[in-house]
Amino acid sequence: MSVISQLSGLVSIAFVLAEVSAPTVTDGDERDATALRASVEDSMATLGQLANVARRQVDLVQATCVLDAQERAAATMELATSELLVLNEASVGPQARELAQEKLRAAADRLDALVQEASRCATDGGPEAVTDVRSVEVVAPRSIPLADPTQGLGASPLPPVVDGGWVPVASPME
């Protein structure tokens, strides 16, 4: 046998081994990843629509609340994108694939929560609608001690102390 035929045989064996050892994606995992990807894309689309509506709003509090949720969603989307790339990679092992899928699921849940928060901001007026920032009510218990230093000493039964070694200070007008 020649060297070339041996090398071609080794190359074909290597390709067969690579195909056999390549991780297989089960249909359930692929469907789950596809559903998560669709959920992430829907969440981002909804946030985009809410942001467009918020930009046209007169109320800046609502607009700021929605745009803040959109910015946080963009950071979450970056993580989800990297995990989608890991899931689409053929050479990734099953453990890495499972971890990427868990991260993608967490990112999808986070995006759903951000969509709900942005929807609440767009309809309710944000967190300021619940709390009136114009009035502050403070309920504080009376914790000032009985010997209140702001009250003064009151009437003393003794006359004030006079130091006999010093003469009283004279007025500059005298």
Helix, coil or strand: residue 89: coil
Q: Report residue 110's pLDDT band, with 50, 70 and 90 as the boundaries.
A: very high
Whole-structure pTM over 0.75, yes or no?
Answer: no
The domain total for the chain is: 1
Each residue's pLDDT tens digit, 12-26: 433 333 443 334 444
Find the distance separating the first CA and the last CA of the chain, reported in whole Å. Answer: 131
What's the pLDDT band for 129 if we cut at 50, 70, 90?
low
Asked whether residue 116 is assigned to any structural domain, the reply reads yes
In a domain, 32, yes or no: yes
The Cα–Cα gap between 4 and 164 comes to 122
Residue 154 lies in a domain: no
Domain that holds residue 47: 26-129
Mean pLDDT, rounded, of the chain: 74
Q: Is residue 170 part of a domain?
A: no
Residue 85 lies in a domain: yes
Please report whether residue 159 resides in a domain: no
Residues whose CB falls within 8 Å of the CB of residue 100, separated by 6 or more in sequence, listed in order = 83, 86, 87, 92
Residues 151, 153: Cα–Cα separation, whole Å: 7
Residue 161, pLDDT score: 72
Indicate the range of 56-60, 70-74, 86-90, 151-155 predicted with least confidence.
Answer: 151-155
Of 15-19, 30-34, 116-120, 158-162, the one with minimum mean pLDDT is 15-19
The verdict on residue 112 lying in a domain is: yes
Amino acid 174: pLDDT: 54
CA distance 99 to 29: 12
Question: Looking at the domain assignment, is residue 134 inside a domain?
Answer: no
